[in-house]
Chains A and B, each alone.
Chain A
């Protein structure tokens, strides 16, 4: 794939990639932006090369996922040694403002998603938000299809239970 083609593909998938980066960075917007920029640079500089073994979208999402995991680990160490306090404080304030702008149903969904395991969140996001098949979601998450299906079913069950409990609370 030529650099111009790569750039075009990245641009086409940009909004979806940003949504996935947000999920991989636990809704930390600034971190998601950093991660996405790093991924674009990796791809455009040829440090991450697409071999064509899967679709471009699943490959790109897998790169975003691993880069986000690396960055989250680095951020954890930076915060542990208190070298990034100002930055994280600014992020939190900005993200809170961003969160307050959401409508109620979206807020409910994000809070329910926060109660699921990381893998469950990832697979539900990939299937329902990104409209990927379970096989593609398994490829992005680098797990077997059986494992992806298990996380998918458990995640859906938990979400249903959480929404049921919420409805019961409202009725009472």
Chain B
């Protein structure tokens, strides 16, 4: 069977075009139609955007405050098992030993 050539396709599309162009409304009719109402939708969009921005700002402010409180809590936090790290004699590691001079030093001079 012979497959469709470009010319066959074109003639089919042209038939469709002829069919549709007869049904198209006239240009004057299109211009005389009442305008599609856009104002309420635009107002709604602006209102929703404003609300969204306000909500984002509020959440941002609230979160900033919460973070400061959290930071304070972290700095003062102590582990409940801190006491277990204290071993007997651990103060020797954190202090400098004192070396006193013997009294018999005067004898040398």
Query: Taking beta carbons and an 8 Å cutoff, which residues of A are in contact with B?
Result: 10-11, 14-15, 18-19, 22, 33-34, 36-38, 40-41, 98, 102-103, 105-106, 109-110, 124-125, 128-129, 156, 159-160, 163-164, 167
Contact = CB atoms under 8 A, between A and B. Distances in A.
Interface in B24-68: 24-27, 30-31, 33, 35-36
Given A33-B30, A106-B19, A124 B13 contact: yes
7 contacts: A14-B30, A19-B17, A22-B20, A37-B36, A128-B13, A128-B14, A163-B4
A17 to B, nearest CB: 9
Contacts of A128: 9-10, 12-14
A159 B9 contact: yes
Most chain-A CB neighbours within 10 Å: which of B10, B14, B26, B27?
Answer: B27
For the residues of B in contact with A, the DSSP-based class is helix
B19 A38 contact: no
B12 A105 contact: yes
A37 B33 contact: yes
Contacts of A41: 35
A132 to B, nearest CB: 12
Contacts of B36: 34, 37-38
A37 B36 CA distance: 8
For the residues of A in contact with B, the DSSP-based class is helix
A37 B30 contact: yes
A19 B21 contact: yes
Contacts, number: 69
A32 to B, nearest CB: 9
B78 interface: no
B33 A159 contact: no
A46 B71 CA distance: 56
A129 B17 contact: yes
A36 B19 contact: no
Contacts of B13: 109, 124-125, 128-129
A40 B27 CA distance: 10
Nearest to A13: B27
B23 interface: yes
A103 B12 CA distance: 12
B73 interface: no
A164 B5 CA distance: 12
B99 interface: no
Most chain-B CB neighbours within 10 Å: which of A10, A14, A164, A167?
Answer: A14
Nearest to B11: A128
B101 interface: no
A105 B16 CA distance: 9
